Protein backbone atom coordinates (compact mmCIF):
# COMPACT_ATOMS: atom_id res chain seq x y z
CA UNK A 1 0.00 0.00 0.00
CA UNK A 2 1.54 3.24 -1.09
CA UNK A 3 0.12 6.58 -2.11
CA UNK A 4 -2.54 8.59 -0.34
CA UNK A 5 -6.04 7.29 0.34
CA UNK A 6 -7.59 10.49 -0.96
CA UNK A 7 -5.84 12.78 -3.38
CA UNK A 8 -7.56 15.98 -4.44
CA UNK A 9 -5.62 17.83 -7.12
CA UNK A 10 -6.49 21.13 -8.79
CA UNK A 11 -10.13 20.86 -7.73
CA UNK A 12 -12.37 23.57 -9.09
CA UNK A 13 -16.05 23.92 -8.22
CA UNK A 14 -18.45 26.18 -10.09
CA UNK A 15 -21.90 26.78 -8.68
CA UNK A 16 -24.80 28.72 -10.17
CA UNK A 17 -25.44 32.00 -8.37
CA UNK A 18 -28.80 33.72 -7.88
CA UNK A 19 -28.67 34.88 -11.52
CA UNK A 20 -28.06 31.35 -12.77
CA UNK A 21 -24.54 32.20 -13.92
CA UNK A 22 -21.82 29.77 -12.81
CA UNK A 23 -19.49 31.24 -10.24
CA UNK A 24 -16.20 29.65 -9.17
CA UNK A 25 -16.23 28.88 -5.44
CA UNK A 26 -13.20 26.57 -5.22
CA UNK A 27 -10.10 27.61 -7.16
CA UNK A 28 -7.70 24.74 -7.75
CA UNK A 29 -7.47 22.98 -4.39
CA UNK A 30 -4.86 20.34 -3.57
CA UNK A 31 -5.34 18.13 -0.52
CA UNK A 32 -4.33 14.58 0.38
CA UNK A 33 -5.27 12.20 3.19
CA UNK A 34 -3.29 9.11 4.10
CA UNK A 35 -5.09 5.96 5.25
CA UNK A 36 -6.24 6.40 8.84
CA UNK A 37 -5.24 10.06 8.91
CA UNK A 38 -7.34 12.80 10.52
CA UNK A 39 -7.33 16.05 8.64
CA UNK A 40 -9.39 19.12 9.50
CA UNK A 41 -10.50 21.47 6.76
CA UNK A 42 -11.25 24.78 8.45
CA UNK A 43 -12.55 28.12 7.30
CA UNK A 44 -15.31 30.66 7.78
CA UNK A 45 -18.61 30.74 5.93
CA UNK A 46 -18.10 31.09 2.20
CA UNK A 47 -14.57 29.68 2.35
CA UNK A 48 -15.59 26.68 0.23
CA UNK A 49 -14.88 24.02 2.86
CA UNK A 50 -18.32 22.37 2.75
CA UNK A 51 -18.45 22.60 -1.03
CA UNK A 52 -15.11 20.80 -1.17
CA UNK A 53 -16.45 18.06 1.10
CA UNK A 54 -19.59 17.64 -0.99
CA UNK A 55 -17.49 17.58 -4.17
CA UNK A 56 -15.68 14.41 -3.09
CA UNK A 57 -18.91 12.41 -3.27
CA UNK A 58 -20.38 14.68 -5.96
CA UNK A 59 -23.44 15.47 -3.89
CA UNK A 60 -24.24 18.77 -5.62
CA UNK A 61 -26.15 18.06 -8.80
CA UNK A 62 -25.93 21.66 -9.96
CA UNK A 63 -22.16 21.96 -9.51
CA UNK A 64 -19.55 21.73 -12.25
CA UNK A 65 -16.38 20.09 -11.01
CA UNK A 66 -12.90 20.21 -12.48
CA UNK A 67 -9.50 18.77 -11.58
CA UNK A 68 -9.08 15.37 -10.01
CA UNK A 69 -10.32 13.48 -6.95
CA UNK A 70 -8.68 10.09 -6.53
CA UNK A 71 -9.63 7.49 -3.94
CA UNK A 72 -6.97 4.80 -3.67
CA UNK A 73 -5.76 5.88 -7.08
CA UNK A 74 -9.19 5.64 -8.75
CA UNK A 75 -10.56 8.79 -10.31
CA UNK A 76 -13.97 9.74 -8.85
CA UNK A 77 -14.68 12.67 -11.16
CA UNK A 78 -16.46 11.42 -14.22
CA UNK A 79 -17.14 8.03 -12.67
CA UNK A 80 -20.35 6.29 -13.77
CA UNK A 81 -23.26 6.97 -11.36
CA UNK A 82 -23.65 3.30 -10.44
CA UNK A 83 -19.96 3.03 -9.55
CA UNK A 84 -20.18 6.25 -7.59
CA UNK A 85 -23.11 4.88 -5.60
CA UNK A 86 -20.91 1.96 -4.61
CA UNK A 87 -18.25 4.36 -3.36
CA UNK A 88 -20.75 6.32 -1.29
CA UNK A 89 -21.30 4.62 2.05
CA UNK A 90 -19.15 1.56 1.36
CA UNK A 91 -15.85 3.38 0.82
CA UNK A 92 -16.59 6.95 1.86
CA UNK A 93 -19.11 7.74 4.61
CA UNK A 94 -20.50 11.17 5.24
CA UNK A 95 -21.88 12.87 8.35
CA UNK A 96 -23.80 16.13 7.96
CA UNK A 97 -24.34 19.06 10.31
CA UNK A 98 -28.07 18.51 10.56
CA UNK A 99 -28.77 14.81 11.05
CA UNK A 100 -32.38 15.31 9.96
CA UNK A 101 -31.26 15.98 6.39
CA UNK A 102 -29.74 12.50 6.33
CA UNK A 103 -32.57 10.70 8.13
CA UNK A 104 -35.91 9.61 6.72
CA UNK A 105 -38.60 10.57 9.27
CA UNK A 106 -40.89 7.64 8.42
CA UNK A 107 -38.35 4.79 8.47
CA UNK A 108 -37.38 3.09 11.72
CA UNK A 109 -33.87 3.88 12.89
CA UNK A 110 -32.51 0.32 12.70
CA UNK A 111 -33.90 -0.11 9.17
CA UNK A 112 -32.32 3.16 8.04
CA UNK A 113 -28.90 2.10 9.19
CA UNK A 114 -29.40 -1.42 7.79
CA UNK A 115 -30.49 0.02 4.44
CA UNK A 116 -26.95 1.33 3.85
CA UNK A 117 -25.75 -2.29 3.94
CA UNK A 118 -28.65 -3.64 1.90
CA UNK A 119 -27.87 -1.14 -0.87
CA UNK A 120 -24.39 -2.60 -0.94
CA UNK A 121 -25.65 -6.16 -1.31
CA UNK A 122 -25.94 -7.48 2.23
CA UNK A 123 -28.97 -9.60 3.22
CA UNK A 124 -31.61 -7.76 5.24
CA UNK A 125 -31.33 -10.01 8.29
CA UNK A 126 -27.56 -9.72 8.58
CA UNK A 127 -27.79 -6.02 7.81
CA UNK A 128 -30.23 -5.42 10.68
CA UNK A 129 -27.98 -7.34 13.03
CA UNK A 130 -24.94 -5.23 12.11
CA UNK A 131 -27.03 -2.06 12.32
CA UNK A 132 -28.14 -2.95 15.84
CA UNK A 133 -24.55 -3.65 16.86
CA UNK A 134 -23.36 -0.26 15.66
CA UNK A 135 -26.33 1.58 17.18
CA UNK A 136 -25.74 -0.20 20.46
CA UNK A 137 -22.07 0.74 20.39
CA UNK A 138 -23.13 4.36 19.87
CA UNK A 139 -25.54 4.22 22.81
CA UNK A 140 -28.65 4.79 20.70
CA UNK A 141 -30.55 1.53 21.16
CA UNK A 142 -31.06 2.05 24.87
CA UNK A 143 -32.79 5.35 24.09
CA UNK A 144 -35.46 3.77 21.92
CA UNK A 145 -38.51 1.94 23.23
CA UNK A 146 -38.01 -1.82 22.69
CA UNK A 147 -34.79 -1.08 20.85
CA UNK A 148 -36.21 0.61 17.77
CA UNK A 149 -38.18 3.66 16.77
CA UNK A 150 -38.29 6.77 14.60
CA UNK A 151 -35.90 9.71 14.40
CA UNK A 152 -38.38 12.12 16.03
CA UNK A 153 -38.25 10.04 19.21
CA UNK A 154 -34.59 10.94 19.60
CA UNK A 155 -32.79 14.08 20.78
CA UNK A 156 -30.49 16.02 18.44
CA UNK A 157 -27.40 14.34 19.86
CA UNK A 158 -28.93 10.88 19.47
CA UNK A 159 -29.99 11.66 15.89
CA UNK A 160 -26.43 12.66 15.11
CA UNK A 161 -25.28 9.31 16.50
CA UNK A 162 -27.66 7.63 14.05
CA UNK A 163 -26.11 9.75 11.30
CA UNK A 164 -22.68 8.50 12.37
CA UNK A 165 -23.95 4.91 12.44
CA UNK A 166 -25.19 5.24 8.85
CA UNK A 167 -21.87 6.73 7.79
CA UNK A 168 -19.68 4.01 9.30
CA UNK A 169 -21.82 0.85 9.26
CA UNK A 170 -20.52 -0.29 5.89
CA UNK A 171 -16.93 0.10 7.07
CA UNK A 172 -15.71 2.96 4.85
CA UNK A 173 -12.02 3.81 4.83
CA UNK A 174 -12.77 7.51 4.75
CA UNK A 175 -15.31 9.46 6.76
CA UNK A 176 -16.17 13.01 5.76
CA UNK A 177 -17.80 14.87 8.65
CA UNK A 178 -19.20 18.31 7.78
CA UNK A 179 -19.70 20.36 10.98
CA UNK A 180 -20.95 17.21 12.75
CA UNK A 181 -21.38 18.86 16.16
CA UNK A 182 -22.15 22.48 15.27
CA UNK A 183 -25.86 22.13 16.05
CA UNK A 184 -25.25 20.43 19.40
CA UNK A 185 -24.86 21.74 22.95
CA UNK A 186 -21.35 21.69 24.31
CA UNK A 187 -21.70 18.59 26.52
CA UNK A 188 -23.48 16.61 23.83
CA UNK A 189 -20.86 17.77 21.35
CA UNK A 190 -18.19 16.31 23.61
CA UNK A 191 -19.95 12.93 23.71
CA UNK A 192 -20.47 12.79 19.95
CA UNK A 193 -16.87 13.82 19.24
CA UNK A 194 -15.54 11.17 21.59
CA UNK A 195 -17.65 8.49 19.89
CA UNK A 196 -16.52 9.66 16.46
CA UNK A 197 -12.94 9.65 17.68
CA UNK A 198 -13.11 6.17 19.23
CA UNK A 199 -14.97 4.47 16.39
CA UNK A 200 -12.71 5.79 13.65
CA UNK A 201 -9.61 4.89 15.64
CA UNK A 202 -10.86 1.36 16.29
CA UNK A 203 -11.52 0.87 12.60
CA UNK A 204 -8.55 2.81 11.25
CA UNK A 205 -10.92 5.09 9.33
CA UNK A 206 -9.43 8.28 7.89
CA UNK A 207 -11.44 11.39 8.77
CA UNK A 208 -11.83 14.64 6.87
CA UNK A 209 -13.41 16.94 9.45
CA UNK A 210 -14.97 20.11 8.09
CA UNK A 211 -15.41 22.70 10.82
CA UNK A 212 -15.17 26.35 11.78
CA UNK A 213 -14.35 25.46 15.39
CA UNK A 214 -10.63 25.60 16.08
CA UNK A 215 -11.07 24.20 19.57
CA UNK A 216 -12.43 20.97 18.12
CA UNK A 217 -9.66 20.90 15.53
CA UNK A 218 -7.02 21.19 18.26
CA UNK A 219 -8.12 17.96 19.93
CA UNK A 220 -9.18 15.89 16.94
CA UNK A 221 -6.94 16.51 13.94
CA UNK A 222 -3.38 15.53 13.09
CA UNK A 223 -3.15 17.92 10.18
CA UNK A 224 -5.06 21.07 9.34
CA UNK A 225 -5.86 22.75 6.04
CA UNK A 226 -7.10 26.35 6.23
CA UNK A 227 -9.37 27.65 3.47
CA UNK A 228 -10.37 31.16 2.55
CA UNK A 229 -12.41 32.32 -0.45
CA UNK A 230 -12.14 28.97 -2.18
CA UNK A 231 -8.37 28.62 -1.79
CA UNK A 232 -6.07 26.85 0.64
CA UNK A 233 -4.05 29.40 2.57
CA UNK A 234 -2.07 26.96 4.70
CA UNK A 235 -1.66 23.27 5.48
CA UNK A 236 0.32 22.11 8.50
CA UNK A 237 0.53 19.63 11.35
CA UNK A 238 -1.92 20.62 14.07
CA UNK A 239 0.67 21.56 16.70
CA UNK A 240 2.71 23.55 14.23
CA UNK A 241 -0.31 25.38 12.85
CA UNK A 242 -1.47 26.56 16.26
CA UNK A 243 2.02 27.32 17.59
CA UNK A 244 3.46 29.04 14.51
CA UNK A 245 0.90 29.82 11.82
CA UNK A 246 2.57 30.73 8.54
CA UNK A 247 -0.27 32.62 6.87
CA UNK A 248 -1.46 35.96 8.26
CA UNK A 249 -5.03 34.78 7.80
CA UNK A 250 -4.47 31.72 10.00
CA UNK A 251 -2.93 33.92 12.68
CA UNK A 252 -5.92 36.28 12.55
CA UNK A 253 -8.34 33.38 12.78
CA UNK A 254 -6.54 31.93 15.80
CA UNK A 255 -6.39 35.33 17.51
CA UNK A 256 -10.14 35.80 17.08
CA UNK A 257 -11.11 32.61 18.92
CA UNK A 258 -12.38 33.38 22.43
CA UNK A 259 -10.69 31.12 24.94
CA UNK A 260 -12.19 29.64 28.06
CA UNK A 261 -8.66 29.16 29.42
CA UNK A 262 -7.39 32.68 28.64
CA UNK A 263 -5.48 34.54 31.31
CA UNK A 264 -7.79 37.43 32.01
CA UNK A 265 -7.21 40.47 34.15
CA UNK A 266 -9.14 40.54 37.43
CA UNK A 267 -12.87 40.97 37.36
CA UNK A 268 -13.69 44.31 35.85
CA UNK A 269 -16.57 46.26 37.22
Partner 1 sequence: MTGDGVTGDGVTGDGVTAPLLAAEGVCYSHPAASGTPSRRAVDDVSLELSAGEVVGVVGESGSGKSTLARTLVRLLRPEAGTVRYRGEDVAGLRGDRLRAYRRDVQMVFQDPYSSLNPRMTVEEIVGEGLVVHERGLDRAGRRERSVTALAEVGLDADVLDRHPRAFSGGQRQRIAIARALVLRPAALICDEPVSALDVSVQAQVVQLLRETQRRHDLAVLFIAHDLAVVRSLCSRVAVMHDGRVVESGSRDAVYLRPTQDYTRSLLAAVPVPDPPRERARRAAARAAAQAAQPAAGGPVEDR
Give the footprint of partner 1 on this chain (CB under 8 A).
Answer: 44-45, 136-139, 142-143, 155-158, 185-191, 193-195, 197, 212-219, 238-239, 242, 252-262, 264, 266-269
Choose between 70 and 137: whose C-beta lies nearer to partner 1: 137
Gap between the terminal Cα atoms of the chain: 62
**Smallest Cα–Cα separation from 234: which of 222, 249, 218, 219?**
249
Q: What ranges in the chain are assigned the alpha helix state H? A: 49-56, 81-90, 99-102, 109-119, 124-137, 156-168, 186-203, 214-220, 238-243, 248-256
244 class by beta-carbon count within 10 Å (0-12 exposed, 13-18 middle, 19+ buried):
exposed
CB of 50 to partner 1, least distance (A): 13
The C-alpha atoms of residue 108 and residue 145 are separated, in whole angstroms, by 12
CB of 13 to partner 1, least distance (A): 20
Choose between 68 and 153: whose C-beta lies nearer to partner 1: 153
Choose between 8 and 210: whose C-beta lies nearer to partner 1: 210
Q: Note the residue count of the chain.
A: 269
Choose between 2 and 269: whose C-beta lies nearer to partner 1: 269
CB of 242 to partner 1, least distance (A): 5
CB of 238 to partner 1, least distance (A): 5
Choose between 114 and 165: whose C-beta lies nearer to partner 1: 165
CB of 64 to partner 1, least distance (A): 26
Amino acid sequence: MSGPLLEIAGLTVDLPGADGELRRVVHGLDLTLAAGERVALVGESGSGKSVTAAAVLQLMTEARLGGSIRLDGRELLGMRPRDLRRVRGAEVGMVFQDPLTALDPVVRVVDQVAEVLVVHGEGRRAARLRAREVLDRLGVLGRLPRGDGYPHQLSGGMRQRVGIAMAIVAGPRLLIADEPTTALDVRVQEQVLTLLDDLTRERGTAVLLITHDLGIVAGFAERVAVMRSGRLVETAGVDQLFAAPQADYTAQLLAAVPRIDADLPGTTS
